[in-house]
Amino acid sequence: MSKGSRKKRATRPWQDPAAMRNFGDLLAPSHSEDDELSLDGYEVRRIDGLRAGKEYVCPACGNAVPTGEGHVVVWPIGDSDLRRHWHRHCWRFEVRRETGVSE
């Protein structure tokens, strides 16, 4: 093995303990996505794929939200009987449409 390849290998991030120390920040959920999903007057809960145990129908597109796919559950504040399971991207479109935000 040449001397240069050893040096290159030693600079890989997963071999640097200092770089791995802050790895937890990468795994933390981003708050920007939560901001994109919030809408006044509605309670929004993110459901990760591991907790999605049933298949639902998205009210926006009419397609299935399959078992094991991450999605959001949305309901008007104070009326949890009206909760619906949405694809995350469908709910983002709904939030943008309601708030008048365009890409």
| CA 92 vs CA 3, 7, 86: distances in Å | 51, 45, 10
In a domain, 25, yes or no: no
Please report whether residue 47 resides in a domain: yes
95 located within any domain: yes
The pTM assigned to this predicted structure is 0.65
For residue 89, is it within any domain? yes
List the domain range (segments joined by +) for residue 51.
30-99
The predicted pLDDT at position 66 comes to 95
Highest mean pLDDT, choosing among 6-15, 35-44, 59-68, 93-102 = 59-68
Q: How many domains does the chain have?
A: 1
- Residues 34 and 10: their CA atoms lie apart, in Å, by 37
pLDDT (0 to 100) of residue 81? 94
Q: Is residue 23 part of a domain?
A: no
In 3D space, the residue among 17, 84, 51 whose CA is nearest the CA of residue 94 turns out to be 84
Does residue 56 lie within any of the structural domains? yes
15 belongs to a structural domain: no
Q: Is residue 61 in a domain?
A: yes
Report which of 47, 34, 50 is spatially closest to residue 85, judged by C-alpha positions.
Answer: 47
